[in-house]
Chains A and B, each alone.
Chain A
Amino acid sequence: MKYILMMNGKKADFERYAQWSKEDLQANVVFMRAFSKELKDSGAFVATEGLAWPSEAKLVRAGKDGEPVTDGVFPESKEFLAGYWIIDVDSPAQAYKIAARVSQAPGPGGKPGNLPIEVRQVLSSHADLGL
């Protein structure tokens, strides 16, 4: 079964992250690289991506004439996706264990970040939506 592990944050969280020292950022990147390698070695890895910053985010709706109407203003409380991992595992417990591991990625001063990771099972097909 496939799961997506999502790291989300508000704009303020991204701004704090931008102020991490070079050393702290480096330690975090080293952890993330090792984490991805572990996933690949264990066969659980499907995909991972980091997203560009929320300042570039756009919200698009269809206009009456079918043209896209683009907006870049979001409420402060808005949670932005920062990045994700897609994993293929045998059980939900295994997905939670992997999420817990990435939650422990080091933050400022090398302390575990203890970031909340949103864990969602992905559908094998749209028919699974049960609509």
Chain B
Amino acid sequence: MAEGHTTIAVQNYLGELAGIEGSAPAASIIRALIDSSVTRLHLLCKTLLVRSYPRLTRPPFNLQSEEMLSSVVDRLLRAMEKVRPATVRQFFALANQHMRWELNDLARRLDGQPSAMEFQEAFMPSADTSASQLTPNALRMLKAIESLPEEEGEVFSLVRIQGMAQTEVADLLGTSTKAIQRRLNRALMILARNLSDLNPPPPSSPQPAEDA
């Protein structure tokens, strides 16, 4: 499922769910919501893998993100099917938590990976030193997100982890986009303070002329 459609799908489910009016949430809707979260998690894991260890995805390792991630995704799927959240908001709170855990787990495993491969690496021409910093940073970021105050943390996770649009989040939480925006800004400021000593990101290629 293309990620771009996920949020649209979520929006539709939100509408459907609202139509059901407090009755027991339809299993099909929950299933679809889980699907969209799973897709999103898959995407985030892939980003983490590709950006942290691009070398692992190339020969001779040929680590395919799919095989590495399928177990992660499987676990989320199982965990989410067990829980039966009463509201959509609850559902997303749980989903966010599980996704953070899974990402955390993946980051740890990636962190361990290079040392396990040290022997082979001795025969590699050079190491991707710039990227190796990414997973520890990811772990720290996840921890910082975890410890955000409740309101900010919820909005931040919905936008960042679930990849929802601000208007959708506003609908879900029954507030204005302005308020969502404000909470996001505040979350960012708190994160900036707590992560200010984060290692600088690897030098990225220069931005394209932004005003082109």
Does B bind A? no
* Interface residue ranges, B against A (CB under 8 Å): none
